[in-house]
Structure 1
């Protein structure tokens, strides 16, 4: 079980596999008012930066699940580096359908909502691991501005314009699912640059070291096309944000 090899190559030097930066995760952790001992579940945990830094800074305990064997090993190494290996556990596995035996104070999927067919299905999945009064975190793309054509949407690596919503519509969708939005932290264009542009040097170094690899042609193609695509499309049209959600209370009349 693993993700496609091209992602393991391109993002092998990443600590964060989405457009968030360390300061954004710090902001989010503070905004959630995390308490020592709070239990966090992270589906699609990547290289573990969110759980590891929150364990260090807030004293949380947590579990992360990710399909990438490489990223899971990197997460374990990061936990050792930060001295929190006794607080966080990283599992190499399929997060789709994962339900925790122990209810979480925070159940998160920040950038991998495809595991349950989109944000609605992922919210439903996370809710099954959430304690009463807990918080769900969803990291999701949105349109900063609606693409004027389907070709531009595809330049943002979407299948169509309908794949994503603008922020007001996205927030309204959470309400329709029965959730209050209780916090939100946005990535910015600098975050997109750090996520996307960091791949290019990694791919170039990999090509220098592996010119005869069977995947070299695909990596060469991406290195050629991705800088222009990112500058023309993703950077201008696509945003990314983490929303904190809580089930709506039923108030007595």
Structure 2
């Protein structure tokens, strides 16, 4: 039987890299993001390489859209072996500049969408008593820096929810894991933010999305006698 993975939040950097990494291991890969049409070049690239790939439009904050996405994939493509939640919500702003709309939106993206994804993944996987659900975290999952109050509150809440999910799902043979990316990842946003970007990249001081993605495959394929709940990712020279 073919192995299948779904990446929720299949953006241009981390999400796309995760899809490529699983496709390289001959998984059928499904990606979802709010603008699903942006996935078309990646889907075409993977199909041209002989891989099975599908792209979907889905707002992970909308319960009915998440439910419909899982139903479509399970009915028309196949049973999911792994689900990755990778929705980004990193919007720096001071507490004084954070209005209720912004705070709520960041919580919806980082926490509520993670809950919906985890719940739907658990619902289909518990029927088969196997699978993996992996969540992308950040430095903000562990501590709140100045200017990141809303993001830290949402990512911290996601981590606690994932801990609860892991404790519920583990005895049902479902691996739940949380990946703390405690560093800058090589994206266009980081490139524009860091004045020493080129120097850091040349010295492997920025996380390469393709290298990062290998960890998601490894987590999914871990033997159950030695499951990892939480993994910290940072370059060799990153300060803790």
Shift of the 142–124 alpha-carbon distance from structure 1 to 2, 3 Å rule, reads: farther
Contact 1:40/1:106, CA 8 A, preserved across alignment: yes
Contact 1:119 1:140 in 2 (8 A): no
1:199-222 CA distance string (max 9 Å, x none):
x2xxxxxxxxxxxxxxxxxxxxxx
Q: Deviations over 1:105-162 (max 9, x none)?
A: 11222235828824323210222443431111222335365337xxx2xx22x42753
Structure having greater relative contact order (Cα 8 Å, sep ≥ 6): 1
After superposition, the C-alpha distances for 1:13-33 in whole angstroms (9 at most, x for unaligned) are xxxxxxxxxxxxxxxxxxxxx
Q: Which residue of 1 aligns with 2:182?
A: 188
Matches of 2:129 and 2:178, distance apart in 1: 21
1:159 aligns with 2:150: yes
Taking a change above 3 Å as real, the CA distance of residues 121 and 144 of structure 1, as seen in their structure-2 partners, is closer
- Say whether the 8 Å CA contact 1:43–1:109 is kept in structure 2: yes
- Picking from 126, 131, 137, the partner of 1:140 is 137
Choose between structure 1 and 2: higher helix proportion. Answer: 2
Look up the match of 2:17: 49
SS at match of 1:179: helix
What is the aligned counterpart of 1:197 among 144, 168, 190?
190
**Cα contact 2:111–2:155 (8 A) shared by 1:** no
Instruction: Give the gaps of 5 or more residues in structure 2.
Output: 89-107, 196-211, 221-240
User: What SS does the corresponding residue of 2:129 show, helix, strand or coil?
Assistant: strand
1:71 corresponds, among 28, 38, 41, to: 38
Aligned to 1:4: none
Residue 38 of structure 2 aligns to a residue whose secondary structure is helix
C-alpha separation in 2, matches of 1:145 and 1:116: 14
Cα distance in 2 for residues equivalent to 1:115 and 1:169: 12
Contact 1:143–1:167, Cα closer than 8 Å, also in 2 = no
Task: Report the equivalent of 2:120.
Answer: 125
1:173/1:143 CA distance change after superposition, 3 Å? farther
Tell me how far 1:60 sits from its aligned partner: 0.8
RMSD of Structure 2 on Structure 1 (CA): 4.2
Stretches of structure 1 lacking an aligned partner (at least 5 in a row): 1-35, 201-225, 229-239, 246-253
Query: What is the 5 A alignment of 1:227-242?
Result: none
Over 3 Å counting, the alpha-carbon distance change for 1:124 and 1:195 in structure 2 is farther
Q: Give, in whole Å, the separation in 2 of the partners of 1:91 and 1:118.
A: 16
CA displacement at 1:87 relative to structure 2: 1.2
Q: Please tell me whether residue 179 in structure 1 is matched to residue 176 in structure 2.
A: no
Take 1:126 and 1:41, find their aligned partners in 2: how far apart are those partners?
Answer: 10
Aligned to 1:19: none
- Structure with a larger share of its residues in strand: 1
